[in-house]
């Protein structure tokens, strides 16, 4: 018999509050935008005085003073793509040349072997 009563007596938990009665969480995105006015524009930010806007998966400068940089970046991307395509073509050509070299080497070894056999066969007849 405990001296001061039951030492382990947890308190009752308070009853849970009922879930939200709103059915907005059941709506699709377009209905959310209509009901709640959630029409966000594209994300924008300002870094070092330059305003940037996120469009088509890339950050683009909004102000017109940076159009030269944008054109230069597009030109460099195009040049990079051309160089990658040229590099892939050259790799393919090297692979083809290595295949041709190995085939020619194998044929050469085969012909040398046949020539040695013919020489040894002709020596035996003498």
**Length of the chain as a residue count:** 126
Distance between CA 88 and CA 77 in Å, rounded? 17
- Residue 42 belongs to a domain: yes
Indicate if 121 and 75 belong to the same structural domain.
Answer: yes
pLDDT at residue number 72: 85
Angle at CA of residue 36, ends 32 and 42, nearest 5°: 80
Q: How large a percentage of the chain has pLDDT more than 70?
A: 71
Give the structural domain span for 39. Answer: 25-64
Any bridge partners for residue 121, and if so which?
none
60, 70 in Cβ contact below 8 A? yes
Indicate if 60 and 82 belong to the same structural domain.
Answer: no
Phi, psi for residue 53 in degrees, rounded to 5: -130, 135
pLDDT 10s digits, 36-72: 666 667 778 887 777 888 888 888 777 655 566 778 8
pTM, 2 dp: 0.43
Indicate if 81 and 107 belong to the same structural domain.
Answer: yes
Taking residues 81-110, what's their average pLDDT? 97
Indicate if 38 and 77 belong to the same structural domain.
Answer: no
Q: Give residue 112's pLDDT band: very low, low, confident or very high (50, 70, 90).
A: very high
């Amino acid at each position: 018999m405990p001296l001061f009563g039951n030492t382990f007596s947890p308190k009752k938990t308070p009853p849970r509050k009922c879930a939200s009665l709103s059915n907005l969480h059941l709506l699709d995105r377009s209905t959310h935008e209509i009901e709640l006015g959630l029409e966000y524009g594209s994300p924008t930010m300002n870094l070092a005085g330059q305003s940037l806007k996120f469009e088509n998966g890339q950050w683009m400068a909004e102000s017109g003073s940076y159009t030269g940089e944008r054109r230069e970046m597009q030109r460099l991307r195009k040049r990079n793509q051309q160089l990658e395509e040229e590099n892939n073509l050259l790799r393919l050509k090297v692979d083809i040349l290595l295949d041709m070299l190995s085939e020619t080497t194998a044929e050469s070894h085969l012909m040398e072997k046949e020539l040695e056999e013919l020489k040894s066969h002709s020596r035996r007849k003498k």
